[in-house]
């Protein structure tokens, strides 16, 4: 049996952190939101680190290439659901739904394009990377604040999340445009 490589272990660690930040989010302590944001930020850093190490050490694997984006989507979806569950953050439902739906559409598109041998044409692009960075910052900010305290950071997180949702739609349209010649309706 082969040993699991460090980049894959980091990805699995990130998956382990998801239920941890969910539990911490619901703890009845004033510090719960800040610690939740810190755990989410740590998970985000492991996302960057596992990719960096996999490339640097030439440890890219098919399993890692599959697992990494799945764990990212799980992590973001859980964080968005937590935020939407806060009664005072109901207006975040629109960008959260856009982001989650886009992830489903693009994942399905990539799977389909892979089946027809065109997976490389829907590889992650620059806009997707910018969207992810802005989305992660927005989620960290929104997780960290008390939803009853409206202030600069709250509005910054709110605006960044809506901006991430717009970039999400833009990147999805770019992926669909690239894949369009492969669509055969009917």
Q: Residues 37-88: pLDDT tens digits?
A: 999 999 999 988 998 898 999 888 888 888 998 999 999 999 999 999 988 7
pLDDT at 20 over 90: yes
Q: By the 8 A CB rule, do 132 and 43 touch?
A: no
Confidence of residue 1 (pLDDT cuts 50, 70, 90): low
What are the tens digits of pLDDT across the range 123-138? Answer: 667 888 899 999 999 9
Confidence of residue 163 (pLDDT cuts 50, 70, 90): very high
Task: Of 115, 105, 120, 118, give the one whose Cα is nearest residue 168.
Answer: 105
What are the tens digits of pLDDT across the range 106-127? Answer: 888 888 888 877 666 666 678 8
Q: For residue 176, give every residue at least 6 positions away whose Cβ sits within 8 Å of its Cβ, in sequence order, or none.
A: 105, 109
Predicted TM-score (pTM) of the model is 0.89
Residue 79 vs residue 89, higher pLDDT: 79
Longest dimension (CA), the chain: 56
């Amino acid at each position: 049996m082969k040993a699991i490589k460090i980049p894959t272990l980091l990805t699995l660690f990130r998956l382990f952190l998801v239920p941890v930040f969910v539990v911490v989010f619901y703890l009845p302590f004033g510090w719960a939101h800040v610690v939740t944001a810190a755990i989410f930020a740590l998970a985000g850093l492991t996302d960057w680190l596992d990719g960096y190490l996999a490339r640097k050490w030439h440890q890219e694997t098919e399993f890692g290439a599959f697992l990494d984006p799945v764990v990212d989507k799980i992590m973001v979806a859980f964080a968005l659901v937590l935020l939407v569950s806060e009664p005072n953050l109901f207006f975040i439902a629109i960008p959260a739904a856009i982001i989650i739906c886009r992830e489903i559409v693009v994942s399905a598109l990539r799977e389909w394009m892979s089946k027809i041998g065109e997976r490389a044409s829907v590889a992650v692009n620059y806009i997707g990377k910018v969207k992810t960075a802005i989305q992660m910052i927005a989620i960290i900010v929104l997780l960290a604040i008390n939803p009853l305290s409206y202030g600069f950071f709250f509005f910054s997180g709110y605006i960044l999340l809506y901006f991430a949702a717009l970039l999400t739609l833009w990147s999805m349209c770019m992926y669909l445009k690239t894949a369009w010649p492969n669509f055969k309706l009917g």
